[in-house]
Every structure is written in C-alpha cells, then in structure tokens.
Structure 1
C-alpha cells in the first residue's frame, strides 16, 4: 500500500487523523471485549436484524456483563442467509451464525457467549462443521500459481505429522490481492486465523518451518511474514472459511461486513483516507489520472467508458468551473449493488469522489441517489457531515489549500435518469429527459459546465487504485478491463447475494462455484445480465468470460451488475415481455423510436403470450427491435430491445411453440395454460369446487369433478388446493 508523502501539511494532517482514530477506538476498549457483530443494512433489517439487535441488548443488560459490545456493520452480501451475526472473542476463531431470530439469539447468548459452546448447527454455511484452533487459508489466485500445489503439500504434511483436525484446518480463497509483478508466479500467500498472520511462501521448506513453529508450536515464523497488508486480509480474517466468499475477490466491497458504516474512526483504522492523503500530498492531478488509466478502470454503471480517459477530458477543459456527480440512481429490477456499497462503506465512496474531484479540478459534487434508498441517503449524509467536521471536506481539505464540498440530491425513481444527460437535467430541476450528444457532459454538462459522472462502484475502486497502484488493479482483471465487478446474483440460484469477481471470470463459476448452482438442481437455461437492457446468455455459452466485450458480442451488456439465473422452469418469451414492459413504462417518450417502438414490440409480445400471434409477427418484432436499437436517442432506447433480440436468437423455438402449438412449456403464460381434472385420480372431495372464485367446477361428492373451460379464469386456485394431485396444469 502506498504511504502518504511525508514532510508536508497533508502528511501531518493525516498523521493526526490516524492517531486520533486510534485513540478514540482504544478508549472504547472494544478490541479486548467479546464483539457481537450484526449486519445493519436494508436487506439485513428486512430479514430481522433489528429484532436480533434488540434481543442481544436485553441479554447483555440482564447478564450485567461489561465485557460484551455490539458492533454494527454493513451487509456482507450473503442475502439468503440474513440476518448474519458474528461472535468475535479475543484469541479465538470468529463464529458466524445465519438466519438469527429472537429465539436463536437466546441460544447463542446462553450457550456460546455464557458457556463458550458454539452452536454448530446454526453456523453460517456449515462453517463449524470442521472446527479447529487455527485456520490456514491459501491464496489460489491467478498470480499465486503455486497456491494449490503448496496447499496440497501442507495437507499431506499435517497428516504425516499427526496434527489433529481439531488443531488445524485448511481452506483457500480466490485472491488476497497481495501479489506484485516481482512476486507473480514465484510464491503464494497464506493467512493464519485467528492470529491474523499472513505468510509469503514459495517452497515446501517454508511449509516445514510453518508446520513446526506455528501449526504445532503456536509461534509465528517472523521471516516469512508478508511485509505488506493485502487489501482483503481484514475481510478474509473474518469470512475466509465461508465458501460463498472465498471464491470472490473483494476490492470495491472489501470493507462491507467488517466496518461500522457510521464510524469515521473505524474507516480510518481500516486504511481510510490514506489514498486522499497521498493524492493531496503529491498535488498532481495528472498523476492521479495516469494511475486510473493504468488501472484500466472502466465505468461500472454500464457504459464501460474508460474512467481515466473521462477524467482527462474534463481536466483539459478551458472552463475552470467543473462538477462531479455520483450516480446512485440504481433502477434495474433485481439490482442492489450501489445500495449495498452506499449503506455498508459510505466513507470509501466519499473518499473516491474527493480524489476524483481533485483530479478533474471540480469545486462541487453531487450524490444523485434514488429516494427509495433512505438508509443509503442517511449514511452518505452522515459520512459527509463527519468528513466536514474532520477537515476532509469543505475549505482547505487536509491542510492542502484545496476546497471541495458535496451535497445529496434525490431521484424520484425515473429509470431514464440513470442516463447521464437525463440525470443532469433532473439535478437542474428539469424533467429527466436525455439530450443529443455531443457535446458530452465532460465538455458541457451541469449548468453548461464540464461535468464528470461515475457510478457508485466506480468511485468505490478509486482509493484501492491509489493505495495499491494502477498496475496492481489492472492485473486483477483482463487485458481490456482491470479490476473486479460486483454483481447482484438473483433468480433461480441457490445462493443469492452480492458477488465480486475479477473481470474475466466465467459466468459458470459465478453461478455454480459461488451461487451453488441452480435452485432445486434444475437445469440451467440461461443467464440474464445487465438488467432490463441486458440480454439472455444461453446455458451453452455459460463459459463466457464476464467482460464488456464478450457480453456485448453475445447480445447482452454488463450493465450496472444485475445477474439473473434462469432455469428450465422459466419462459423466455414471458421474461422478454416483463423486461420490455419495464423499459416501455420507463421510457421518457422524447424520441419516437423508443416511445413507439417499445410500445409496438410489447403489443406483439402480448399477442405471442396470449396465443393470438402468427409466425410473421416474429419478423415484425425483430425488425422493430433492430430499428429501435439503431435509432433511439439514448442508451435506454438503444438497449431496450436486447432481451427481445437475444431471446429470438437463442430461443426462437420457444416463440414458435407459443404461436404454433399455443403452448408454454414452462407454464408461465397464463393464457396458454389449461387446468383439467383427472377422473381417475379425483375422489370428489369438492375442495377445488369450494375454492373456485368463478364456480366453474361441477360434480357430486365422491364423484370425479369437471372444469368448465369457457368459464375458467385460469387462476390456478384449484391446482393449489388439491391434495390428491388430481388437478393437472397443461
């Protein structure tokens, strides 16, 4: 990690900031206490974390103990197992529990905290199935080429030495991010918990020394310690034993789930504002831009434009009044990446924005956040207030002589305001509609001044790039795109949540290695990326790398990061209609191709799903989609046809089935479903008839019943209530 430049006012300011943070945290004495760590974000609250917090507080008060403290964090991203509670006892392995309700709080407190007996059956993802005093976590990243070999060798040596499984367990993670060009391919890294010792090793001789001194003797091998602290060490010290996390590579989300999002001192302790101190100490905007260019960071909002290039254009404008905007108007159905980062690590986003403002020469910045994110808004406003008070925002930032401040503006939920020019008009108080480009916002944007707009995740990467270097960040991704990408993994997948992986990772690894595969072990049908403006990637192409180029060539987009897993039970026609209905409703109506094109396409899809279409309608649908794609004014209209075109390309037989056979194999299109009663199975219990809302089922008790197809509204109530599987859905 880079260090702030010494012997200048900025370095002195940062030194005081860090010492003050250490003093404040030391005064609390929390590090010597048992910490009950509870997720505190919108998704955690919805799952019941506030009730669990309240119950823990009651137990602590009733016990009279003063050696227990509650530590609130943001969201880890393990959505389907929330609320997640961690018990961190000094000198012991941290234990994480899943789906913690009030009843489980009582068990955790009375058994684990009071008696020291963890509840194995309630541990997150079975993480206590193999309990041990020490955990050795090996890095198996692309640059640690010896990681897997040395892990297998260490496992063998443990067995030969007779070290019991209760003493040492081993696992691996996707990447610690500790490699450099000098160490690439020559070594690997091993994190030892709970001692939080990171080793850099290269030979089996190193393993022998670690085995004898640390694994058996309990003493770290000092000369093998890694001199640098990798970016993910803190995260993996707590979550390195969880399968869902150890296949990821955390950069943008490195602090999510470990740092208190409302505590400036904690953020500073985790390396916060070191990057800003470095930047202001150097006092060279072009150096910052050059590092971002070397990082090959591309905009994470969906467009994928090189961030450094955008900053350079704004920096070079003759107009000196410039603005910076953070786009937090996350409107994709099923996407919650920006919300997660704003709620869980707001100071990191603030630091990234301040660095960006210095690079382009902006004097004022805006957070544009959708009003439906009240907790994200609250935490950003809190972070801004604390930063102003600490001298990190406002006049003479960190003693550098440079002034910059920010404010929050709320979006009213218009999806089109995710587009740059529409967002700018919204901030100006106008109706959110896009403008013809050029000129681009970097030349003529907010109030006619040069303006840079980047999304939340883009800013979340900036401090890491400055601290660890642009080349380091670039090496985490592909030749075209550096770094990682955060996805909201949802749909028919076993493990939903926020996932961060290096660009270039195959889609299949995200779905199966991290997501655990398709729900109910159904067959994978497709993966939809990019939200309503994205496309469907068929299962046959699931080895495709996650990157801007491959996804675009496949008829989809990266988008802001939605990733929906679809199984054999999903209807591609119905899903295309769903996404198109969303974009049609969200169209601002300014340009004819989008306003009329999406409406006419939706009408055709309605005909297909209702059984009224003819085969020639497919040709009309395809022509309309391509015309809209080529002529719409903004990105919303140009990308709206992606679900239609990609489904027609990869699943055309499904469209033909709806039209020719009047059949929806997935049984999602209501108009093409028919309910009938099997007379051989029906026992005449009359439950279906009594629950039918239109009374279209006839028959005497103990005789087979019959459904009047002309009166049936296909609500499916009879299918749901039949206890003998006599009602068939065909």
Structure 2
C-alpha cells in the first residue's frame, strides 16, 4: 500500500461513460506530464468510478481544492499541469459552466447538479479507487459486516433494516426487512442470497455505475443479508454487457477472499459465505426473479407462477432472497449509522434516497441520488438545469418500459413510491426521461411497447399476443391509418394484459400506453381523426416543410442536407420545397441558420 504523502490527489473518472470519452488517455498523458516536470512523487493519480455527471466526461477532480475539470481533451492536460500544479492557478476555461448563466464553477459541490443531491449509496463513487479494498476499508468499509456478525443476532439485523424503512430499489418497493424475515423463517437446510444486477431498462445505468464505482459496498450488503437470513452462498446475476462492472466485481470478490472477508468463519464466527458471479445474456425478462433463478440454474430464463415465492422455494428449490444492487448498497449505511439515520431522510413511507438516470431534453444529464420526497420540479429545473430546447416542459417518463408519464400538472409532486403510484406512474428501477412539447406521446408509447414486446419471453398468451396486437394498433395510428375505436381497444387490451399476464414484464407492459392515453388522449385523437401528429414526429402524419421566402437568405444549406432532393433554388435567392417529394424528416429545418423553414 502506498504510504507516500502527496500535496494533491487527482481523481480521474474511469466509469464506462468517461472511459468511452477518453479518460484513460487523459490519465496516461497526465502521468507523462507529471513525470516530465518531476511531480510524480507530489501528485497522486486515482482512478475512480462514475461521479454522476456522465455527459461532462472525461472528468478530473483535484484535491484538496475540489476543483472540477470536465470535458477534457488530451491537449488540455499540459495546461493543467503548468497552470494548476506549478503556478497554483485554476484553468477557468476547463471548469463547468452553468447552462443558463454561463458562470464558471470551480468546486464540484457548488455546481447545481450536485447541490440538492444526498449521496448515501453513491457516497464512494467518484471518491475512491473501486479496485482497492484498502481504500474501501479506509473509508469505513466492512465495519458494518463486522458489527452485524459479531455484535448482532440475525433477528436484530433484520429488525434494524425493518426499522429503517428500506424498500426494494429494483422497482417493486417491497419492504426489504420483511422480505429478509420471510426467508429467515422459511424451512430449509440450504438458503441462497441473490443480487439482481440484470439492469435492462433502456437508458438505465444506476446498478452498473455502483458496481463499477463501489463493488465492495454491494458485497458487504450481501454478506450482511446472507447472515441475516441464514444463507451461506450467493450469486450476483449481472448482464454480460457490463464488462467493466464484472471485472471490478470479480476483483473485489478475490480481494475480499484474500482478506478473509468472504469464505469460512467470517470475523472469527461460525458464519461462512461464498459469492459467485453469473453472467446474464441480456434478456429483459430475466430481471423478473423467477426467470433470473431459472437462468442461474442453466435453464431458459422464463418466469413461473407465484406462489410459491422465492423466499420459500427459490434457487434449486431452496429458500432464496433476491434484492437489486442499489438495495444492497444501502445496507452497510443502515447498520453503521442506524435505522433512525436512514429513515430521517426521505418521507414517512419512502425513506432514504433514490438513484435516477436523468436523461432526455434536459441540460444536465447523468446519474443523480436524491432524497425521497424531492419534487419533480427540483430534479428537472434545479439539478437538471432546465430544458435544452427552450421549449415548454411536457412530461417525464419514469420507470422505463414498465412505468408511466408525469405531466406538468405534477411538477410539485413529491417523488416517492406511493405518490407516483397514485397518478398511474411508478418508481421503477430509476430511469427518468424528460420530454418537451416537441415530443409525440403516441410515439413514446410505441417506443416502449416495441421494446417490451420484443423482450417478451412468449410463455404466456396475454403478454406474447396482447402486446403484439397493441403494437400493431400503435403502428397503424402513427402511420396515419388509425380508426375510430382504436383508443378504446388499446385501453381494453391494456387492462386485460395487466390483469392476466404471468409476470411483472407483461403486467406492466401496457403502462406507457395507458398513461399517455390518460394524460394525452387529445394527441391520440389528433392522429386518428385529424390525421396529424401535433408534434410533427410521426412521418406518416407529418405535413411537408415549407420555406418562408421573405426570411430565406438563399444559403442553400437546406438543399445540401435533404436526403430526397426535394429542395431546389439558386444561391442568394429563396429556395423551394417540393411537397410531393418531401418526407418531412426535418433535416432542412434543423440546418437552416435563419429559421426560415417550418411545417406547413
């Protein structure tokens, strides 16, 4: 272990997002620059996990000042070394700038994106080296496991989790302590604990980021849970598309085994626990717990009817407890700080924090951890920095393909399990897509239903056939072939599928359709009756584009980007669009420098 004393620590994000934008190359160039200036023994470079502000990568934070440099390029590194490390001057042009005020913010904790966050489960992400068990232990890691195993009975651990109010963060929101208690009391000579890391929602990367940035926290949470329910073996079921998460998790397991934190007689007790990784093939349905267990057993990942529930008959017929990555990540904090400290955050029935993947038509996208009960307005306009387009806010889709939309009428709604359920939405695993008035809600519903229909395992008829029929209707509507009665048919099919599908995938698949009909029925009616897409998104219904002759400056940029050669004209004269040829793709309008093009 490095015992050197450094005057500065440089934390470079090496989560998947920053790695894809070049953070590894930034680190290499920085090492070379520091060596060239004989600074290698004064400044330590630390590779960390995701800090959340993924779109601003590569990210570098310099301590002790906490200076936040973002969107770095290799050629920027020499300037940072010369100015910051040699002359003590912050490089202003590389700082984050607030989207509206354009003000440069040196310290990351002063950036609006971070101000209203409350990091519990992500507290180590972006702060420690995820591949160093020593750094995890130095930050208090494995103290909770030691406390639980040596100072508490399994029943006391379960009661502490019950008192904390922790609910499953995978989407269902079932009380975690109660779930553990069911498995603890189930009869069986062998019990299993499973971590569900099969994160399949489009755009969701909460679990991946935690596994990449703080894998030991998840392992520690599983150790505590295994002790509580009486399991001596566990699995982390993680999709194969997460290679970095798997690599870091495997290394963390090996490090824990080397130090006796996994294996036999943990902390000198009679409790033993072994942990394995099972790679999933990327089937969305394997996020459902019975399908997940079938996959671990080497069978096709398909759900089965419940009861019996996994707590009584799970993996290989033995009592099994399943929680997701974020749920386990909260457990060490609860044991270390106590149930009251955790329940003091959030709301009465939804305690603690929730991690969201914030994306869409918004200035600040990325991973955010916020207290339960925060309003949608605070997330979108404070943390998210408002909408990028200058258009009005329209809705937020929460819960991915299993969720529903939240309209502007509910911007001040507290975000928690119960309030979202009341308006027909759901927390889900944590996807949050922001949409503006240029978004077609019928198209949104079609997108999510297309995903769930293609991911259906086909075992039950309501999901296999019902979602296919719903998708056919939506396709017809978006292509201008909708007819009277289609909305009513969608509602009837949706409710029938919700009531009769075998598993959660099928039961929640109609939600985006039902939700958008509830709040945006007028858009469906416009598509069907008026044969128009109000947002101009659905090409089968979009009006041809026209050019305002008085505004056009004759630059010809529109003609250059038209994919079907529908635009003609001469330089410095007004151009024209042939409405019979135009496919309403909008490329010309996006390219026009004077906004002379619009839909007729």
| 1:694 Cα deviation from its structure 2 partner | 4.1
Q: Secondary structure at the match of 1:672?
A: coil
Instruction: Name 2:346's counterpart in structure 1.
Output: 477
Q: Does 1:43 align with 2:17?
A: yes
Q: Secondary structure at the match of 2:234?
A: strand
Give matches, 1:620-639, under 5 Å.
Answer: 620-639=489-508
Q: Does 1:76 align with 2:51?
A: yes
| Paired residues of 1:529 and 1:535 also in contact (CA < 8 A) | yes
Instruction: Name 2:31's counterpart in structure 1.
Output: 57
* Selected match of 1:112 from 81, 84, 88: 84
| 1:687 Cα deviation from its structure 2 partner | 6.3
| Paired residues of 1:675 and 1:727 also in contact (CA < 8 A) | no
Query: Taking structure 1 as reference, are residues 699 and 272 closer, same or farther at Cα in structure 2, changes over 3 Å only?
Result: closer
What is the CA deviation profile of residues 484-523 of structure 1, one whole-angstrom value per residue up to 9, with x for unaligned ones? 1111111111111111111121121111221112223421
| Paired residues of 1:320 and 1:361 also in contact (CA < 8 A) | no
What is the CA deviation profile of residues 605-626 of structure 1, one whole-angstrom value per residue up to 9, with x for unaligned ones? 1111111112311111111111
Q: Does 1:656 align with 2:525?
A: yes
What's the RMSD between the two structures over aligned residues? Answer: 2.2
Q: Secondary structure at the match of 1:519?
A: coil
Instruction: Name 1:618's counterpart in structure 2.
Output: 487
| Paired residues of 2:112 and 2:385 also in contact (CA < 8 A) | no
Q: Secondary structure at the match of 2:447?
A: helix
| 1:241 Cα deviation from its structure 2 partner | 2.8
* Selected match of 2:63 from 88, 104, 123: 88
Q: Which consecutive residues of structure 1, in runs of 5 or more, have no partner in the other structure?
A: 1-23, 132-237
Q: Secondary structure at the match of 2:194?
A: strand
* Selected match of 1:67 from 34, 42, 48: 42
Q: Which consecutive residues of structure 2, in runs of 5 or more, have no partner in the other structure?
A: none
What is the CA deviation profile of residues 239-279 of structure 1, one whole-angstrom value per residue up to 9, with x for unaligned ones? 43332212111111111111110001110110001101101
* Selected match of 2:73 from 101, 109, 112: 101
What is the CA deviation profile of residues 336-368 of structure 1, one whole-angstrom value per residue up to 9, with x for unaligned ones? 100110000111111001111111111110010
Instruction: Name 1:729's counterpart in structure 2.
Output: 599
Q: Does 1:356 align with 2:225?
A: yes
| 1:696 Cα deviation from its structure 2 partner | 4.6
Q: Does 1:122 align with 2:94?
A: yes
| Paired residues of 1:311 and 1:452 also in contact (CA < 8 A) | yes
| Paired residues of 1:275 and 1:467 also in contact (CA < 8 A) | yes
Q: Secondary structure at the match of 1:421?
A: helix
* Selected match of 1:540 from 406, 409, 420: 409
| 1:35 Cα deviation from its structure 2 partner | 1.4
Query: Taking structure 1 as reference, are residues 504 and 715 closer, same or farther at Cα in structure 2, changes over 3 Å only?
Result: closer
Instruction: Name 1:174's counterpart in structure 2.
Output: none
- Supply the distance in 1 between the matched residues of 2:319 and 2:359 (Cα, whole angstroms): 37
| Paired residues of 1:475 and 1:482 also in contact (CA < 8 A) | yes
| 1:64 Cα deviation from its structure 2 partner | 2.1
Q: Secondary structure at the match of 2:110?
A: coil
- Supply the distance in 1 between the matched residues of 2:595 and 2:381 (Cα, whole angstroms): 33
| Paired residues of 1:441 and 1:451 also in contact (CA < 8 A) | yes
- Supply the distance in 2 between the matched residues of 1:300 and 1:609 (Cα, whole angstroms): 35
What is the CA deviation profile of residues 346-398 of structure 1, one whole-angstrom value per residue up to 9, with x for unaligned ones? 11111001111111111110010111110000000000000000000011222
Q: Secondary structure at the match of 1:520?
A: coil
Q: Which moved more, 1:380-389 or 1:489-498?
A: 489-498
Q: Secondary structure at the match of 2:540?
A: helix
| Paired residues of 1:473 and 1:482 also in contact (CA < 8 A) | yes
Q: Does 1:647 align with 2:549?
A: no
- Supply the distance in 2 between the matched residues of 1:403 and 1:67 (Cα, whole angstroms): 43
| Paired residues of 1:677 and 1:705 also in contact (CA < 8 A) | no
| 1:421 Cα deviation from its structure 2 partner | 0.5
Q: Secondary structure at the match of 2:169?
A: coil
Instruction: Name 2:267's counterpart in structure 1.
Output: 398
| 1:715 Cα deviation from its structure 2 partner | 4.0
Q: Secondary structure at the match of 1:333?
A: coil
Query: Taking structure 1 as reference, are residues 291 and 701 closer, same or farther at Cα in structure 2, changes over 3 Å only?
Result: closer
| Paired residues of 2:404 and 2:426 also in contact (CA < 8 A) | yes
Q: Secondary structure at the match of 2:523?
A: helix
| Paired residues of 1:675 and 1:716 also in contact (CA < 8 A) | no
| Paired residues of 1:342 and 1:379 also in contact (CA < 8 A) | yes
Instruction: Name 1:454's counterpart in structure 2.
Output: 323
Q: Secondary structure at the match of 1:461?
A: helix
> What is the aligned residue count?
595
- Supply the distance in 2 between the matched residues of 1:495 and 1:688 (Cα, whole angstroms): 30
TM-score by length of 2: 0.95
Query: Taking structure 1 as reference, are residues 523 and 375 closer, same or farther at Cα in structure 2, changes over 3 Å only?
Result: same
| 1:129 Cα deviation from its structure 2 partner | 5.5
Instruction: Name 1:255's counterpart in structure 2.
Output: 124
| 1:530 Cα deviation from its structure 2 partner | 0.4
- Supply the distance in 1 between the matched residues of 2:95 and 2:549 (Cα, whole angstroms): 48
Q: Does 1:374 align with 2:243?
A: yes
Q: Does 1:513 align with 2:382?
A: yes
* Selected match of 2:549 from 658, 667, 680: 680
| Paired residues of 1:120 and 1:128 also in contact (CA < 8 A) | no
* Selected match of 1:322 from 191, 195, 218: 191
* Selected match of 1:572 from 441, 444, 460: 441
| Paired residues of 1:298 and 1:307 also in contact (CA < 8 A) | yes
- Supply the distance in 2 between the matched residues of 1:718 and 1:506 (Cα, whole angstroms): 38
Instruction: Name 1:593's counterpart in structure 2.
Output: 462
* Selected match of 1:282 from 143, 151, 158: 151
Q: Secondary structure at the match of 1:476?
A: coil
Query: Taking structure 1 as reference, are residues 404 and 701 closer, same or farther at Cα in structure 2, changes over 3 Å only?
Result: closer
Instruction: Name 1:582's counterpart in structure 2.
Output: 451
Query: Taking structure 1 as reference, are residues 478 and 721 closer, same or farther at Cα in structure 2, changes over 3 Å only?
Result: closer
Q: Secondary structure at the match of 2:68?
A: strand
| 1:75 Cα deviation from its structure 2 partner | 1.1
Query: Taking structure 1 as reference, are residues 490 and 701 closer, same or farther at Cα in structure 2, changes over 3 Å only?
Result: closer
Query: Taking structure 1 as reference, are residues 362 and 657 closer, same or farther at Cα in structure 2, changes over 3 Å only?
Result: same
- Supply the distance in 1 between the matched residues of 2:559 and 2:103 (Cα, whole angstroms): 50
| Paired residues of 2:49 and 2:126 also in contact (CA < 8 A) | yes
What is the CA deviation profile of residues 318-351 of structure 1, one whole-angstrom value per residue up to 9, with x for unaligned ones? 1020011100010111111001100001111110
Q: Does 1:297 align with 2:269?
A: no
- Supply the distance in 1 between the matched residues of 2:460 and 2:145 (Cα, whole angstroms): 43
Query: Taking structure 1 as reference, are residues 446 and 75 closer, same or farther at Cα in structure 2, changes over 3 Å only?
Result: same
